[in-house]
Amino acid sequence: PDSSHAGSVASVLHAHVGSEAAFSFLRDMLKKWCQDVRLEHYRLQIDRIPNSIGLLSSGPGVLGILKPAGVSTEDLMQQVSTQLNSRASGIDARLVMISRLDHPTSGALPVAWGCQVAMAAQWFHAQFAARLPKKEYICLCEGAPLGRIGLKAEIGTPIQTMVLPNSTSRSKVAPRGVGRVAQTWVEVAG
């Protein structure tokens, strides 16, 4: 089974049994995907990665890259791919987008390298398909206070993602019954 199949099963486990059962299932799938894989094929020579890429961390088949605000995930992926595959770096790396961050958002962007069915890509796609990863954002707001410091709230509003003509995508709040379920927990920090 590929990451879509595994992610679907893990999603059901997550919803009905809990996240530990979902991760346990995915760890078993990872072992299956790794059976015939030699991990040394998935290790980049870190010293050959250009500093301009913004490498935060790396592991077998995966890179953590700092995405700056004001740059689309797709544009950043193209820039990183171009830099990694340049003659100067001597690296042959096909990159696979695992997740994305919105255009105005900065943060850590996980990127698999290899191909769409590579071990790391399968592992991460299955987790995202099962909705297991957690993202945390810090939002700086200006204007009238949202409430007293320490106030906590939960917002459950669907998110709809649309593909734009230039092959990028945009997400927006959607009416109930349209889009994917999204839960946001808010805390007023001060």
pTM (2 d.p.): 0.66
pLDDT of 40 reads: 47
In this prediction, what percent of the chain has a pLDDT beyond 90?
16
CB 115 within 8 A of CB 121: yes
Q: Is the pLDDT at 186 greater than 90, yes or no?
A: no
> Which token pair is 51?
């500093």
- Residues 27 and 38: their CA atoms lie apart, in Å, by 17
pLDDT computed for residue 67 by the predictor? 93
For the chain, the first-to-last Cα distance in angstroms comes to: 47
- pLDDT recorded at residue 90: 56
pLDDT digits (tens, 9 = 90+) for 101-147: 888 888 899 988 776 667 788 888 888 888 888 777 777 778 887 78
Q: What letter represents residue 30's amino acid?
A: L
| CB half-sphere exposure, 44, CA atoms < 13 A | 26
pLDDT digits (tens, 9 = 90+) for 77-112: 988 888 877 655 555 567 888 888 888 888 899 988
Q: Specify the higher pLDDT residue, 29 or 90.
A: 29
Comparison of pLDDT for 9 and 155, the residue scoring more: 9
Q: How far apart are CA 64 and CA 67, in angstroms?
A: 9
**Could you identify the residue written with the tokens 């605000």?**
69
